[in-house]
Structure formats: C-alpha cells, structure tokens
C-alpha cells in the first residue's frame, strides 16, 4: 500500500474501530442466543438459584370428606428406593390414603431439601426407624444435590414437588410440563432415581396436572392429615393435630423446607414415638 495522508489514516482508524464494535455486537447476539437456547433446554443449564417463598397464601382446600373418592391400594415398603414401583396406585386421581391394614400410616416431608432442616429430620427418622417420602422442589434439589442423595441413601423415597412450588392450577399447560419434567430430571441427576410420585403444591390439582402425571407415570399424592406446621403454630399444636387426626391409612404432611422448621423437628421427636407406641407402623407411599 502507498503512503496515506493524515486524513486517510484517521478515516481508516475510525473504520477499524467501527468494524470491531460490529463484530463484538454480532458475537454478543450469537452468544446470547446460544445461552438462551441452552437455558430453555432444561436443568442441564439451570437458571440462577433463588429463594422460593413456599407459602404464599394457598387457595382454600376442600375438607377431605368433600374431595374425590379414594380407592385404597396396597402400599408396599421397599428398602431400596431404586426398586420402588407403585404400580398398583391410580394415576388418574390424587391419593389421600394408603392401605390401612395393620394400622399402617405414611409420613411425607415437603419443600426441601434444606441444608439446615433436612439433616435434622433425617436424624429423627433414623432414631425411630421411620421411613418417609420427601416431596422435593426442583430448584432446591439442583442447589443441594448431596442432600437429595442423602435422603435416598437413608432408604427414603423422593416425590416430585414442582420446580418452583407454583400453584399449577393457575398456569398454562407448557408450564405444568416444564415444572414436572425439570424436577424429575434434577432428582434423577442427583440420586439416580426417577421419582414415581408427584405432590401438587397447596394440593392444587387440575385435569392438566393429572394428565401430566399420567404421561410421566407418576402417582398423584395428596395428604389426609395437615398439622399446618408450615405456619409455625407451636410444637404442642402440631403434635395435638397429628395425634387427633391420624387414623389407619393416613398420609401425614410435614415440612423440612420453606422457612424455619425447628417446630416441625421438635414435633416429630414427640409424635413418632407416640404413634409407634399406639401400634401404628410407617409405610412409604
């Protein structure tokens, strides 16, 4: 190239700066598209973890007697969660009770895993030889996969409890599918177990949710005893509620996530030995 005048050099410099800016802009758009598509592909590329307020005011629940009729199905206790196949349970309606033979009852623990309270609950269950079902939120499983593994390694079962603890009766179909699919993927990635139970947050069931459970071969699981421990009413009230309302076949609802669960832990230390002394025995759903 020949010698360039000062104005030509200035023009060339301006051109080069503009060219580089354009390349950076195009590269940024391309990178954004790649990252966005991977984020949408599912929990292999998770959105940033954020705290989930598990207890916005839920929709009013019907008393158990007014809900859909329930057919009792035999619940079999499996020492290895990986061998758990509740094939005898219905997939087209929520399960509120287990088989009540021999005073069997079930304990379910929702909204974890939580780094503070899940280990405490596990210690209490181990102390009394009780096996439970933990309904886990996908975001929390992704944040604490080691806690999910510790639950299965202790012989407990894990149920899908949605990705964000959303009221699925109020969201579109594609959101229902995503909430359930991402959570099952996260649970399997953390534990090697495909969850075969699903619990709807707030007990909010819809035809769309039931159909998705059927597609994913998961039993819709509700509960029949709600001591409202999530509201922290006091240890004595939690204990009194459980002892008054538990009958053969009951599915008891408790929580290890969503807030301070110290009252739940203390209540479990009281109710588990009492229920065992009254002749109940615990089966996993």
Active site residue ranges = 110, 255
How many Cβ atoms from other residues are within 10 Å of residue 171's Cβ?
A: 18
Q: How many residues would you count in the chain?
A: 285
CA dist 70 and 43 (Å) reads 34
Q: 127: closest CA among 241, 271, 28?
A: 271
Residue with token string 């088989």:
99
Whether the Cβ atoms of residue 128 and residue 103 lie closer than 8 Å to each other: no
Whether the Cβ atoms of residue 213 and residue 220 lie closer than 8 Å to each other: yes
Whether the Cβ atoms of residue 38 and residue 45 lie closer than 8 Å to each other: yes
Strands 281-282 and 104-112: parallel
Please list, in sequence order, all residues whose beta carbon lies within 8 angstroms of the beta carbon of residue 98, skipping any fewer than 6 positions away: 72, 73, 75, 104, 105, 106, 249, 251, 283, 285
Q: DSSP H helical segments within 41-144, as ranges?
A: 117-128, 138-143
Q: Strand, helix or coil at 104?
A: strand
Q: Strand, helix or coil at 219?
A: strand
């Amino acid at each position: 190239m020949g010698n360039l005048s000062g104005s030509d050099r200035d023009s060339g410099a301006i051109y080069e700066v503009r060219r580089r800016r354009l390349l950076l802009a195009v590269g940024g758009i391309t990178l954004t598209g790649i990252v966005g598509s991977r984020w949408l592909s599912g929990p292999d590329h998770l959105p940033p973890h954020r705290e989930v307020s598990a207890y916005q005011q839920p929709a009013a629940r019907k008393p158990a007697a007014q809900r859909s009729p329930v057919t009792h199905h035999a619940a079999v206790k499996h020492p290895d969660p990986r061998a758990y196949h509740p094939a005898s349970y219905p997939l087209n309606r929520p399960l509120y009770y287990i088989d009540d033979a021999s005073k069997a009852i079930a304990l379910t623990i929702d909204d974890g895993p939580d780094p503070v309270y899940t280990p405490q609950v596990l210690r209490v269950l181990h102390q009394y030889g009780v096996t439970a079902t933990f309904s886990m939120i996908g975001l929390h499983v992704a944040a604490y996969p080691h806690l999910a593994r510790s639950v299965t390694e202790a012989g407990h079962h894990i149920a899908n409890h949605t990705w964000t603890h959303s009221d699925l009766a109020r969201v579109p179909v594609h959101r229902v599918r995503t909430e359930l699919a991402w959570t099952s993927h996260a649970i399997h990635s953390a534990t090697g177990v495909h969850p075969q139970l699903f619990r709807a947050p707030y007990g909010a069931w819809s035809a769309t949710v039931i159909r998705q459970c059927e597609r994913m071969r998961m039993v819709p699981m509700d509960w029949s005893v709600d001591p409202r421990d999530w509201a922290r009413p006091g240890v004595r009230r939690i204990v009194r509620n459980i002892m008054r309302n538990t009958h053969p076949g009951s599915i008891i609802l408790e929580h290890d996530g969503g807030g301070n669960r110290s009252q739940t832990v203390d209540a479990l230390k009281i109710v588990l030995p009492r229920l065992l002394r009254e002749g109940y025995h615990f089966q996993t759903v």
